Structure 1
């Protein structure tokens, strides 16, 4: 059952709820329009770029992208110089962007809930494993690089 407790499943669940909210909410609450569509598209595109850049960097460093597995290397180069969690940040941008694109602004309330859930279920345990394995190197990395942005 642990295989299902991964961030993409949580993102998919949040996206399904977002889509459902967009379908059910009164049209008076919709904020659609060209500007909202553009912003939503930029957020989704930016999120996907972050995810791709992070995946490529992790592959270059020969370490796992799977949250429950032990990392072979501490990745602090590339996009990881800007954020310790660019994949989760990318997921969050995709969620926010699709809430706008699907005209479900109420669903934007899911964004902080998603961030809290991801932080508690994945980021904190991952960082604890990295802290134990890479000690001083991880401590220096945390001082230089913020968790989200």
Structure 2
């Protein structure tokens, strides 16, 4: 059961809950200013959702898993995966950043690098190790051509 709780959406929801709580219960009069933060936040959330949907579509098209702890059937290097090796995690980060901006959760800003670090250590590095072991030279070429995040 705990293994199913240790998935990126749970970490994202936890960080979002902390940012919301900060905005709601400890605002301290801080905000990002004009409605520009709302617009930028909304655009980032939208972009995050689009990036994630493109990645899920590409993984489904190649008939491989999107579940982080499972072994991939195929190495996906097409579509959005030409731009980022981890577009779903990138989308998660965009959503977190966008919501922090939208909510004016200024004190929640440190959650962004913390979230990225957790995702990198708990999911990205182990996934890439599994891919490296399974796809050898193909994965090596892929890592030389495509950045981990952007």
Q: TM class, shorter-chain normalised?
A: over 0.9
* Alignment partner, residue 96 of structure 1: 97
CA contact (8 A) 2:15 2:96 kept: yes
* Alignment partner, residue 79 of structure 2: 78
Give the C-alpha shift of residue 106 in structure 1: 1.7
* Alignment partner, residue 126 of structure 2: 125
Within a 5 Å distance, the mapping from 1:109-148 to structure 2 comes to 109-148=110-149
Give the C-alpha shift of residue 69 in structure 1: 0.5
Runs of 4+ in 1 over 6 A off after TM superposition: none
Q: Please, which runs of 5 or more residues in structure 2 have no aligned partner?
A: none
* Alignment partner, residue 42 of structure 2: 41
Give the C-alpha shift of residue 109 in structure 1: 1.1
Give the C-alpha shift of residue 32 in structure 1: 4.2
Paired residue total: 149
* Alignment partner, residue 4 of structure 2: 3
Calculate the TM-score normalised by the size of structure 2: 0.97
Q: Please, which runs of 5 or more residues in structure 1 have no aligned partner?
A: none
Calculate the TM-score normalised by the size of structure 1: 0.97
